[in-house]
Structure 1
Amino acid sequence: MNPADITAQSNTPNILIFDSGIGGLTIAAEITKILPQHPIIYIADNRLYPYGTKPDAVLRTRARSLFPILEAHYHPSIIVIACNSASTLILDEVRALTDTPVIGVVPAIKPAAEFSKTGSIGLLATKVTINRPYTQNLINQFAGDHNVVSVGSDILVFQAEQKMHGNPIDTDAIRQELLPFINQPNIDTIVLGCTHFPLLRDEISHILGQSVELIDSINAIARRTAVTLSKLTPDLPSTLPTPKHRFIFTAPNPKIDEITPTLHRRGFSDILIGNH
């Protein structure tokens, strides 16, 4: 079968999860827990990876060309943009481009501000997410009376990818990126504002200590996906055959053999090149 010719092959509504890399696997895992009967088509746009270092104009141009193709080719019932760097820029534009419901992930500023006892929280995201007006608006709206320390790190994205590829990670590099938080002892809550970062949750927690709560949007996005799908398919049987999940790169990936074991363990039976 030609990977580029693969479309949805089940009558069960499928979920298209989109990211530039493998950070969206954190959301895919949570969605699978809540919606185990739904097949997942994961699109990793490695043609433009990583999104966190790309100019806004480049990402907008890519969205305009790519999402209509993905919608027409895979016929998803719902699209989840599992990337903060993308969602904080192109979410509204993608919704306007497609007829499919689109859910985006943005930094969990509100729950972090509500959880914090000290009134001092951290935001750990990519540099572009940190600098987006959308992110600053979230801070102003939900944490305006808090001390917010923002750290933009593209190095942690690389470290998370290394971990998922089965390669050693550099804990000293991770610690260096977290120094602004370490130097602010009043911080009791940190937002993981990139879907890659929960992949390093253990390492981050070990460095910062158990007194610092790490908060992300993963469960909230999975629950919202479930609610949206329930409205679209209210009569879907509660028990269905185990679905087939597919992981599709948009361009050739020379490290595909390294990542394949991780993807198989996470339930993706087919790992393909889509050439999108």
Structure 2
Amino acid sequence: MTCAPVLVFDSGMGGLSVLGPIRAALPQSPIVYVADNAGFPYGSKSEAEIAARVPALLGRLTERYRPRLIVIACNTASTIALAHVRAALDVPVVGTVPAIKPAAEATQTKVIGVLGTPATVRQAYVDNLAAEFASDCVVLRHGTPDLAATAEAKLRGETVPAEDYAAVMAGLTDQPHGADMDTVVLACTHFPLVEEELAAAARRPMRFVHGGQGIARRVAHLLQGADWTGCEPTGLAVFTARDEKSAALAPALAARGLDSAYL
């Protein structure tokens, strides 16, 4: 167990926005990063599909890699399947939820946006977070089905038209009260990978918040006192399907200390 890895799971590359803070917090931990590219994108799938797929896949991954802890670095998978995974596995599991609480604390105008996949923004879980932590705010939501794929295209070195990002931001700013919005929750782990592009598309100062740092703090707390003696901080990126797009991500993964493999 001493050198058992932390397993970071996402539908694709979005979890890299969580992996960075985790590695900073636990520099000696081996990492297994899993991208379920065979099921990507989760945001357009039904709740039933995700609730069945994610626990089954994480069960196989747990048997293979024997992780010390699992991070579901995907808002959609967490809001739908987190409870199912925790019930199925005897491993600590940390989920990812929209950062509505810190957004409500940061806003000056009391108008915040939640930008996520369609599957995430329609969840009752988001309703509950807004009611509990942002009851004094106007909470605008926009589900964008394509931005996760756009973020992955950027990682592959492809050029993405600026108007694509402008259309995403307009989904929030064009709503009633959108002109007063000053804080946006990036409720998909892919979206921090294109935060600079979204900020440029907003055309006015905007604060973007997401959960990467909070997840890293939670992981570090749960693994406080763990013995990493003799461990190499290795990194392995595992894909569930072999295709040209996953191969094209190899340079971006190598830059983050991850070697590529397939499940």
TM-score of Structure 1 vs Structure 2, range by shorter chain:
over 0.9
Counterpart of 1:35 in structure 2 is 26
Q: How does 1:189-204 map to 2 (within 5 A)?
A: 189-204=183-198
Say which is worse superposed, 45-54 or 79-88, in terms of deviation.
45-54
Matches within 5 A, 1:96-175: 96-175=87-166
CA contact (8 A) 1:159 1:170 kept: no
TM superposition score normalised by structure 1:
0.90
In 2: Cα distance, 1:166 partner to 1:133 partner? 36
**1:67 and 1:97 in contact (8 A); partners too:** no
Within 1, Cα distance between the matches of 2:232 and 2:195? 29
| 1:88-143 per-position Cα deviation (integer Å, ceiling 9, x unaligned) | 00111100110100000010001101111111101000011000111111111111
Residue of structure 1 aligned with 2:243, choices 248, 253, 262: 253
Q: Once the 2 structures are TM-superposed, how far is the Cα of residue 210 of structure 1 from its aligned partner?
A: 5.6
> Structure 1 residues 167, 134: CA separation in 2 closer, same or farther (over 3 Å shift)?
same
Q: Deviations over 1:41-87 (max 9, x none)?
A: 01111111111111111111112321221111110000000000000
Letter of the 1:68 counterpart:
G
**1:233-259, CA deviations, whole angstroms, 9 ceiling, x for partnerless residues?**
2x445xx66411000001222223311
| Aligned partners of 1:36 and 1:242 also within 8 Å | no
1:29-108 equivalent positions in 2, closer than 5 A: 29-108=20-99
TM, length-normalised to structure 2: 0.94
The percent identity for this pair of structures is 39
The secondary structure found in structure 2 opposite 1:43 is strand
Cα distance in structure 2, aligned partners of 1:163 and 1:251: 20
Structure 1 distance, partners of 2:192, 2:223, is 25
Q: Which amino acid aligns with 2:237?
A: F
In the TM superposition, what is the alpha-carbon distance from 1:175 to its structure 2 partner? 0.3
Aligned length: 260
1:225 paired with 2:203, answer: no
Unaligned runs of 5+ in 1: 1-9
Are 1:271 and 2:231 counterparts?
Answer: no
> Of the candidates 162, 178, 182, which is equivalent to residue 188 of structure 1?
182
What letter matches 2:77 in structure 1? A
Unaligned runs of 5+ in 2: none
What is the aligned-residue RMSD (CA, Å)?
1.5
2:165 and 2:200 map into 1 onto residues whose CA distance is 11
